[in-house]
């Protein structure tokens, strides 16, 4: 492939195929992307849906976002793209094992996004021409799975596709299995060096807490020692009156505005929404009460956003060996972080424990969907909503936290009731008018609610199918007979979860 060159004003070389709008290359090169294309304008939106057989609904980038002018998108058109030259060389270009150039380009985009810390991006109108797209062969599908996934995923795809054309699927599965394909490489693109602060925007911090006042105070002291002082911290404390330490929060100890709101409602989603309503900063940092941060934490979040020209980032989450560990342990573990931990790139999840988001963007979304209170999945929902609103959510390796995870306290105190049955159980918000009686729903109804909310009915059915496939076959071979015997009850539990999730969908999103 003979690629043409474009050199930016900063001296960086971009390679391109096709006829891009050259006037826009300077601007996009200063943004977060590493390869750019206009595939969604060229009939490539949601092509290769069979990826669902590997990822089910556990990867944000399974579905495209064609309503946006710019978005993270790995479905690259090989006939029309622009890429940073150093990235093209690092990933060794398109692999040569495929019959179709389309899947060869998809392979590169997928590896860049999921593993490599590089961001492929769709840019509307970057390539104005229409381009004829070749069809992806069955053989190439199995090649892609063989090169990128464990063998059982190709087997699963075979089982799911057999009903369409059994002989064709089985033949190509066997052929791909015997082929000596070039082994994929999974390099990691180093994060960019941080630029100096261009300005010093105001920053608010949101900390929900419950039964952890001492940990919250410890974190407030870390924020008091920052190289970039925050403007305001809003603590929403749900600790019951009889368990509070009176006077533990003292505004006189801190240079920033400290707002303490005693939570009368229930749930961490409500807590964050109540705090967001009080935030006045240009940016909002979402924090967990059981974390520790280094003095450069806030400054590096802002410098990272300015360096990549994005509005949202997750910081690095490092688990503490002990909940009594301090900043020395954080510094030690951070210095030992692996190359993959220190990559930037697109975030694969959203962190309520360590994230920094433009306040305007947060308030565009209003806040957290309180249907998730009492369960799990609110962070995934918020992250997906950020992406659908046009945000490029990135992973920031320069702002680590030490996550202490003490054995008691926190908002899961309420959610733990969901694991109980009988008279000891306290009704959860997601139960609505149908309290749980004899069958405990599994998985969490709020997780299933989030899946129904963001994925197509066909993909939800695939999630259910994959769930039970893994339930039966992922465990030990010795236990498979017991799992088969338990299968009818597990199916009842899943259907119960689906029942509660659909009731939440009917009720509608709430803030």
Tell me: the pLDDT tens digits for 394-404? 999 999 999 99
Q: Which helix or strand (DSSP H or E) is residue 208 part of?
A: strand 203-209
> What pLDDT score was predicted for residue 418?
61
Cα(19)–Cα(39) distance, rounded to whole angstroms?
A: 13
Q: Percent of the chain having pLDDT more than 90?
A: 86
> What pLDDT score was predicted for residue 477?
86
The mean pLDDT of 134-140, rounded to a whole number, is 90
CB < 8 Å & 24+ apart, contacts of 25-33: 25/82, 28/82, 28/121, 28/123, 28/126, 29/84, 30/309, 31/121, 31/308, 31/309, 31/310, 31/392, 32/119, 32/121, 32/308, 32/309, 32/310, 32/392, 32/394, 33/119, 33/120, 33/121, 33/123
The mean pLDDT of 485-505, rounded to a whole number, is 96
Task: Work out the pLDDT band at 128, boundaries 50, 70, 90.
Answer: confident
Above 60 in pLDDT, residue 501?
yes
Q: Which helix or strand (DSSP H or E) is residue 304 part of?
A: helix 297-308
> What pLDDT score was predicted for residue 133?
75
- Tell me the three state secondary structure of residue 96: coil
Cα(157)–Cα(131) distance, rounded to whole angstroms?
A: 29
- pLDDT single digits (tens) 179-230: 999 888 899 999 999 999 998 999 999 999 999 999 999 999 999 999 999 9
> What pLDDT score was predicted for residue 183?
86
> What pLDDT score was predicted for residue 412?
61
Neighbour count for residue 2 (Cβ, 10 Å): 5
Structure token digits, residue 103:
């899947």
Above 80 in pLDDT, residue 15?
yes
Structure token digits, residue 281:
């900063």
Q: Which fold has domain 203-403?
A: Spore Coat Polysaccharide Biosynthesis Protein SpsA; Chain A (3.90.550)
Q: Where are the domains of the chain?
A: 4-178, 203-403, 420-507
Distance of CA 237 to the CA centre of its chain: 27
Q: Are 491 and 435 in contact (CB under 8 A)?
A: no
Residues 6+ apart with CB under 8 A from 236: 206, 207, 208, 209, 261, 263, 271, 272, 274, 275
> What pLDDT score was predicted for residue 246?
86
- pLDDT single digits (tens) 446-486: 999 999 999 999 999 999 999 999 899 888 888 999 999 99
According to DSSP, residue 434 is labeled S
The mean pLDDT of 25-36, rounded to a whole number, is 96
- pLDDT single digits (tens) 301-312: 999 999 999 999
**β-strand pairing of 81-84 with 35-37:** antiparallel
The mean pLDDT of 352-366, rounded to a whole number, is 96
The mean pLDDT of 139-164, rounded to a whole number, is 94
Single pTM value for the model:
0.93
DSSP string, 366-410: -S--GGGTTSS-HHHHHHHHHHHTT--EEEEEEEEEEE---SS-S
The mean pLDDT of 314-339, rounded to a whole number, is 96
**Main-chain dihedrals φ then ψ at residue 103, nearest 5 degrees:** -70, -25
Cis peptide bond upstream of 382, omega within 30: no
Cα(90)–Cα(108) distance, rounded to whole angstroms?
A: 11
Sign for the pseudo-dihedral over CA of 335, 339, 345, 350: negative
The residues that bridge with 82 in the sheet, in sequence order, are 16, 36
- Tell me the three state secondary structure of residue 482: helix
Neighbour count for residue 435 (Cβ, 10 Å): 10
Cα(238)–Cα(263) distance, rounded to whole angstroms?
A: 5
Average pLDDT, the chain: 93
Cα(292)–Cα(320) distance, rounded to whole angstroms?
A: 10
The mean pLDDT of 148-161, rounded to a whole number, is 94
> What pLDDT score was predicted for residue 429?
86
- pLDDT single digits (tens) 411-456: 665 556 666 676 667 788 899 889 998 899 999 999 999 999 999 9
Cα(31)–Cα(37) distance, rounded to whole angstroms?
A: 14
Terminal-residue alpha carbon distance, the chain: 51
Helices (H) and strands (E) in the chain, counts: 17, 14
Neighbour count for residue 4 (Cβ, 10 Å): 13
């Amino acid at each position: 492939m003979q690629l043409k060159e474009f050199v930016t004003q900063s001296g960086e070389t971009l390679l391109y195929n096709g006829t891009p709008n050259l006037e826009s290359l300077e601007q996009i090169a200063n943004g977060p992307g590493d390869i750019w294309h206009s595939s969604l304008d060229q009939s490539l939106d949601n092509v290769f849906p069979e990826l669902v057989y590997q990822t089910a609904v556990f990867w944000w980038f399974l579905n495209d976002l064609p309503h946006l002018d710019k978005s993270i998108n790995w479905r690259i058109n090989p006939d029309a793209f622009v890429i940073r030259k150093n990235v093209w060389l690092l990933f060794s270009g398109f692999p040569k094992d495929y019959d179709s150039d389309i899947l060869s380009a998809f392979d590169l985009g997928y590896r860049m996004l999921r593993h490599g810390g590089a961001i492929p991006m769709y840019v509307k109108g970057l390539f104005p021409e229409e381009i004829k797209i070749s069809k992806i062969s069955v053989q190439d599908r199995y090649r892609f799975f063989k090169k990128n996934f464990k063998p059982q995923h190709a087997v699963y795809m075979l089982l799911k596709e057999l009903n369409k054309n059994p002989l064709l699927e089985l033949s190509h599965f066997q052929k791909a299995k015997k082929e000596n394909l070039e082994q994929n490489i999974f390099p990691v693109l180093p994060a960019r060096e941080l630029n100096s602060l261009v300005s010093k925007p105001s920053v608010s911090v949101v900390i929900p807490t419950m039964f952890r006042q001492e940990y919250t105070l410890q974190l407030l002291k870390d924020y008091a020692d920052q190289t970039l002082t925050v403007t305001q911290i809003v603590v929403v404390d749900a600790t019951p009156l009889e368990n509070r330490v009176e006077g533990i929060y003292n505004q006189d100890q801190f240079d920033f505005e400290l707002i303490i709101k005693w939570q009368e409602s229930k749930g961490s989603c409500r807590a964050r929404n109540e705090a967001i309503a009080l935030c006045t900063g240009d940016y909002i940092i979402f924090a967990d009460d059981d974390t520790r941060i280094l003095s450069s934490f806030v400054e590096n979040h802002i410098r990272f956003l300015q360096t990549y020209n994005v509005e949202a980032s997750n910081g690095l989450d490092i688990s503490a060996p002990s909940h009594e560990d301090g900043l020395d342990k954080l510094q030690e573990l951070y210095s030992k972080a692996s190359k993959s931990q220190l990559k930037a790139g697109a975030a694969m999840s959203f962190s309520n424990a360590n994230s920094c988001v433009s306040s305007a963007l947060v308030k565009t979304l209003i806040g957290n969907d309180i249907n998730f209170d009492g369960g799990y999945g609110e962070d995934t929902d918020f992250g997906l909503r950020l992406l659908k609103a046009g945000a490029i959510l990135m992973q920031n390796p320069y702002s680590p936290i030490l996550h202490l995870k003490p054995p008691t306290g926190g908002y899961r105190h309420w959610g733990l009731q969901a694991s109980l049955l009988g008279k000891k159980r306290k009704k959860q918000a997601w139960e609505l008018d149908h309290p749980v009686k004899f069958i405990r729903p599994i998985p969490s109804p709020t997780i299933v609610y989030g899946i129904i909310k963001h994925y197509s009915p066909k993909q939800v059915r695939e999630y259910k199918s994959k769930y039970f496939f893994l339930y039966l076959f992922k465990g030990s071979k010795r236990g498979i007979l017991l799992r088969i015997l338990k299968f009818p009850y597990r199916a009842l539990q899943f259907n119960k979860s689906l029942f509660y999730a659909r009731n939440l969908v009917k009720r509608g999103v709430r803030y």
